[in-house]
């Protein structure tokens, strides 16, 4: 840490670091790509930001003292690359307003999957909410996430998927933590509603017996 003691990275050390970097990058590739894909919703964009993040990380590898911190550091760079690209596009395409409108039309503020599923008439045949979650496929969740407007999807991907704290998300997105909180709460409501709508459309969650019970889903 002290300036004078800053060690020279010897040649062998350098080679080891490079090898370690390569191994880690390749090992994390599906996670980097998956995260990028949820952030961008677009395969070409996702590939571009992963490639750019890897280049950036490599060019700044000297800043990273402890290679054990490489995964978290890489994801941080990935998120930064995404956010700066996203900002450029927002100013060009006014994404923001579109996203807001789409969100407002779609969802009640307080949609809860649990409340939809945890119904007395459903309860006498087990715990429907558990069955629902257990049956969810990754692609169900990915589709539901992708249906969210950008500003909501991004906070979910940061906080729920990557474990960002509210203040980390607030710093990255340059909005107050209060905004992170309210967006998250809205995002969860939208996500749960999307999962419910998908399940209903797939006929997975029609009422038992199909005999005239109103489960309130249509409301």
Partner 1 sequence: MTERELSCEEVLEQLFTYLDGEIDAAGSADIDRHLERCRDCYTRAEFEKKLRLKTEQAGGFAPAPERLRARIRGLLDRY
Residues that bind partner 1 (CB under 8 A): 18, 21-22, 25-26, 29-35, 37-38, 43, 47, 50-51, 54-55, 58, 113-114, 117-118, 127, 129-130, 133-134, 136-142, 145, 156-157, 159-163, 165-166, 181, 184-185, 188, 191-192
DSSP state of 204: T
Smallest distance from the beta carbon of 144 to partner 1, in angstroms?
9
By beta-carbon proximity to partner 1, the closer residue of 91 and 115 is 115
Q: Residue 102 or residue 141: which is nearer to partner 1 going by CB? A: 141
Residues in contact with 41: Cβ distance below 8 Å, sequence separation at least 6, in sequence order = 146, 153
Identify the CA nearest to 81 among candidates 142, 32, 140: 32
Q: How far is the CB of 212 from partner 1 (least distance, A)?
A: 27
Q: How far is the CB of 54 from partner 1 (least distance, A)?
A: 6
Give the length of the chain.
219
The smaller minimum CB distance to partner 1, of residues 99 and 145, is found at: 145
| CB of 50 or CB of 107, closer to partner 1 | 50
Q: Which residues contact 167 (CB under 8 A, 6 or more apart)?
A: 177
Cα angle vertex 200, ends 195, 206, to 5°?
Answer: 130
Tokens representing 123 are 């309860």
Residue with smaller CB distance to partner 1, 47 or 207: 47
Per the listing, tokens 């704290």 go with 165
Give the shortest CB-92-to-partner 1 separation in angstroms.
25
Closest distance between partner 1 and the C-beta of residue 138, in Å? Answer: 4
The DSSP H or E segment spanning 179 is helix 177-201
What beta strand segments (E) does the chain contain?
none
């Amino acid at each position: 840490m002290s300036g004078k003691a800053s060690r020279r990275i010897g040649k062998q050390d350098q080679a080891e670091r490079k090898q370690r970097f390569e191994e880690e990058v390749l090992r994390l590739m599906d996670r980097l790509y998956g995260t990028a894909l949820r952030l961008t919703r677009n395969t070409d964009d996702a590939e571009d930001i992963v490639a750019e993040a890897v280049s950036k990380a490599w060019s700044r590898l000297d800043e990273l003292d402890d290679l054990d911190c490489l995964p978290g550091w890489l994801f941080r760079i990935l998120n930064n690359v995404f956010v700066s690209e996203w900002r450029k596009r927002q100013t060009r395409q006014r994404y923001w307003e579109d996203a807001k409108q789409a969100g407002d039309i779609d969802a009640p503020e307080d949609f809860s999957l649990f409340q939809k599923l945890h119904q007395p008439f459903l309860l006498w045949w087990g715990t429907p909410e558990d069955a629902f979650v257990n049956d969810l496929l990754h692609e169900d969740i990915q589709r539901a996430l992708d249906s969210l407007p950008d500003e909501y999807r991004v906070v979910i991907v940061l906080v729920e998927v990557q474990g960002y704290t509210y203040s980390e998300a607030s710093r990255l997105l340059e909005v107050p933590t209060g905004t992170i909180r309210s967006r998250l709460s809205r995002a969860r409501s939208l996500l749960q509603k999307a999962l419910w709508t998908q399940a209903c459309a797939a006929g997975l969650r029609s009422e038992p017996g199909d005999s005239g019970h109103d489960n309130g889903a249509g409301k």
